[in-house]
Amino acid sequence: MKRAIYPGSFDPVTFGHIDMIERSAKMVDELVVAILINSAKNPLFSVEERVSMLEEISGHIPNIRITSFNGLLIDYAREVDASVIVRGLRAVTDFEYELQIAQTNRIINSQIDTVFLTTSLEYAYLSSTIVKEVASYGGDISHFVPERLIDRIYAKYS
């Protein structure tokens, strides 16, 4: 079985994330969508909320599993028996950073490869940070996230 892991903070999940999940899931037998628990960040949503949102918006994809982890991604990939890490690239600056991480991971565990997918053009600008910034000022986020998540995002700022 070919298992890949798609890690991220997903705080909140965006149309760009959904696009990457759908495309990645088509390439493997199972895709583990893994939410990083990062104590250095102050997330808008709890891990449990992010898991719930991802499960809700990805219910139509039969071969994915939503999990969370802390520590090194490469260790978690080994723990879930993933042979591939999927990373999305929006711009050249993403590539420079992601390449360093991928090369480091390859040194730590040469059995796990990283695959880079470029985002679809309509989401190349999109990030969770942008969604939070717009939402914090009450701006329209309907072009960035699924409709069923919009009220939950705005509620965090009221």
Which tokens go with 63? 């071969």
Query: Among all residues, which ones are annotated catalytic?
Result: 17, 41, 90, 128
Alpha helices in 26-112 (DSSP H): 47-57, 73-79, 92-108
User: CA 14 to CA 35: how far, in whole Å?
Assistant: 14
CA atoms within a 13 Å half-sphere pointing along the CA-CB vector of 119: 19
